[in-house]
Amino acid sequence: MRETAVPFGAWSAEFRAALAGDGATDVPCGTCTACCSASQFVHIEPDELDALAVIPAALRFPAPGLPAGNVLLGYDEHGRCPLLGAQGCTIYDVRPRACRTYDCRVFAATGLSGRLAAEADKAAIAERAGSWRFVAEDERAERALDAVRRAAAYLGEHPEVFTDVGRVPPSTTGRAVLAVEVSELFRPHDASPSPDEVRAALRARS
């Protein structure tokens, strides 16, 4: 697969904004539908009225462990989103927030593409993620990219920062997103945050 260069600083700003609810990621997916065909549940929150209005009730079910009103959209026997049509997403303009913020470039940014490839039904996403090659626009972006990668490694090596507070260590996808969100703690290069500092950062973003 041909490599595509991605400027890290610009990508990071857009991705963080999307996570904060300000806009959507703008992945140049082309004809790829790997993440729509990877046996993934899509979480839809109670305030997502536009999405809920077009997703048939028969396709939704209550999200385990979350307050009433939170639902999941499942997938068909082939692992495909039931709303994925021959020409792509059939509800694109009102797609759920989870889809708006999904960005396989996060696996390349965090160095977790290889780990994702080992998960069931995620090989195609990992392959696509492997096509992105991050480039730092300047020294600041270089430090930020390094911090994201060290944060991702830390979260994998220290599952106790989750289990100590009664949480399950996240999937590779969750770990990649959290690594971006807590990466400030890992700047500069020799920063070595304590487990308590990481726990506090994780609590602050949840």
39 lies in the binding site for ligand SF4 (CB under 6 A): no
89 lies in the binding site for ligand SF4 (CB under 6 A): no
Measured from the CB atom, is 32 or 147 closer to ligand SF4?
32
- Which parts of 94-153 interact with ligand SF4 (CB under 6 A)? 102-104, 125, 128
19 lies in the binding site for ligand SF4 (CB under 6 A): no
Q: Alpha-carbon torsion 204, 171, 191, 17, what sign?
A: negative
Q: Identify the bridge partners of residue 173 per DSSP, sorted by sequence position.
A: none
Contacts of 1 (CB under 8 A, 6+ apart): 127, 128, 130, 131
CB of 80 to ligand SF4, least distance (A): 12
Residue 170 DSSP label: P
Query: What is the SS3 assignment for 181?
Result: helix
* Alpha carbons 31 and 147: distance in angstroms, whole number: 32
Angle between helices 8-19 and 172-182 (to 10 degrees): 100
Residue entry with tokens 């536009």 = 50
CB of 34 to ligand SF4, least distance (A): 4
* Alpha carbons 130 and 48: distance in angstroms, whole number: 32
Measured from the CB atom, is 34 or 136 closer to ligand SF4?
34
Measured from the CB atom, is 115 or 128 closer to ligand SF4?
128
- Structure-token pair, residue 91: 């509800």
35 lies in the binding site for ligand SF4 (CB under 6 A): yes
Measured from the CB atom, is 97 or 128 closer to ligand SF4?
128
CB of 87 to ligand SF4, least distance (A): 14
Measured from the CB atom, is 23 or 195 closer to ligand SF4?
23
Containing 156, the helix (H) or strand (E) segment is helix 139-157
32 lies in the binding site for ligand SF4 (CB under 6 A): yes
Measured from the CB atom, is 130 or 159 closer to ligand SF4?
130
33 lies in the binding site for ligand SF4 (CB under 6 A): yes
Burial of 172 (0-12, 13-18, 19+ CB in 10 A): buried
CB of 175 to ligand SF4, least distance (A): 17
Question: Rule CB under 6 A: which residues touch ligand SF4?
Answer: 27, 29, 32-35, 102-104, 125, 128
